[in-house]
Amino acid sequence: MVSWDVERSPMSVQLLVRLGTDHGLPARACLESTRLTEEILRDTGATVSARQELTVIANLLSALGDPPGLGLEAGIRYHLTTYGIWGFAMISSPTWRSAIDIGLRYLDLTFAFTRIQARDRGEEFHLVLDTPDIPMALQRFVIERDSAAIQTIQHELFAAPIHIREISYPFPGPALGTARYAEIFGVTPVFGAAECAVSIPPEILDLPLPQANDHTTAIAREQCRQLLASRHARTGVAGRVRDYLLVRTAAPPDAEQVAAALHMSERTLRRRLAADGVTFRGLLDEIRAQLAEEFLVTGGMSVAEVAQRLGYVEVSSFSQAFRRWKSVGPREFRARQLARQRPLPAGVSSAVSA
């Protein structure tokens, strides 16, 4: 799910505006209805919201007619340096698998509008891109953009032209041919599929990355964690609710109790949270998911202890919720995280062939 209220770097909007101007569209037309200006975008301390960025995309498509492949043209402009500390954490990771792990964990530090999940089935590894929160008219662009960005990142991590096995798209193929898709991905996509899935050769997942550095990646991960926490720090009613819930996770109050504590009716509370783009249940899930990961991996707690700390009466209920958040059970999640923190065996080759 896209975190609409998490602030983003303006870098992506800058790239989108540049895409528009390359197609003859004035910058002011790209920024229409966003309350953004070129001066704001040049401010190194500025941030933008996901909604503002999505408005820029809508402006582009409205003005340019939504030509197939425009998202690809956008996506190849998103280099690792575009993402700041997130990109630095990726490139210093020991392997592509660990880079994917940190990339998905801190996905809110990127500009992705798709919800990306890793599907690991041993002989097959897919990154599945979904767009549950995106208006239908914008879905093709954001799927093309985010999938092309994944391929660009993969090339830059390995400093070599690594091609994917297969890519599928849930929309029809372009009438003017698929040459540009094949040029970017190394394969012709399957169009009209049930989902968008990028199939990555599993044999490259555990190869060392050329710029891997354990010390650097540890520092970068911590900076990602701190930056994401600061961006998740909510203001207004949503912030007050989050703060209230955060210290009561062992016995979380319901919406009526929180509303009473904040001296308002439950109806008013829900209305004001909706105005902030969140729900009471969503805030509680956000807190639980964040703490569950920290308790399991950093805190070293058992699954039963984590379930109790987060207010679950049954461990099975917590496990089901965790699987909904992370697409994997808590025990398997922790095992994967701990395994990826171990150094690679000596003698593993760092060479990656094209």
Q: Tell whether the torsion through CA atoms of 13, 15, 19 and 25 is positive or negative.
A: positive
Cα–Cα distance measured from residue 313 to residue 290, given in angstroms and rounded to the nearest whole number: 19
Task: Give me the pLDDT at residue 334, please.
Answer: 86
Q: How many CA atoms lie within 13 A of 183 on its CB side?
A: 8
CB 116 within 8 A of CB 104: yes
313-322 burial code (b ≥16 CB/10 A, e <16): eebeebbebb
Task: Give me the pLDDT at residue 349, please.
Answer: 36
Task: Give me the pLDDT at residue 45, please.
Answer: 77
Cα–Cα distance measured from residue 298 to residue 290, given in angstroms and rounded to the nearest whole number: 12
C-alpha angle 255-258-263 in degrees, rounded to nearest 5: 120
Task: Give me the pLDDT at residue 15, please.
Answer: 97
Domain regions of the chain by residue span: 1-65, 69-213, 234-341
C-alpha angle 185-115-10 in degrees, rounded to nearest 5: 85
* Token pair listed for 230: 């600061």
Task: Give me the pLDDT at residue 123, please.
Answer: 85
Phi-psi region of 108 (alpha: psi -120 to 50; beta: other; left: phi over 0): alpha
Task: Give me the pLDDT at residue 88, please.
Answer: 93
Q: Which amino acid is at 232?
A: H
Task: Give me the pLDDT at residue 5, please.
Answer: 58
Cα–Cα distance measured from residue 154 to residue 245, given in angstroms and rounded to the nearest whole number: 39
Mean pLDDT per 10-residue section of the chain, whose length is 354 residues = 70 96 96 92 84 94 88 96 93 94 90 92 90 90 96 91 90 90 95 95 91 90 83 74 85 93 92 82 88 81 91 93 88 80 43 34
Task: Give me the pLDDT at residue 230, please.
Answer: 74
- The reply to whether CATH 1.10.3720.10 applies to domain 234-341 is no
CB 242 within 8 A of CB 288: no
Phi, psi of 268 (to 5 degrees): -65, -40
Q: Which residue has the tokens 């990127």?
A: 110
Q: In terms of Cα–Cα distance, which of 34, 26, 25 is closest to 64?
A: 25
Task: Give me the pLDDT at residue 59, please.
Answer: 96
C-alpha angle 293-294-298 in degrees, rounded to nearest 5: 120
Task: Give me the pLDDT at residue 100, please.
Answer: 94
Task: Give me the pLDDT at residue 150, please.
Answer: 95
* Token pair listed for 2: 């896209």
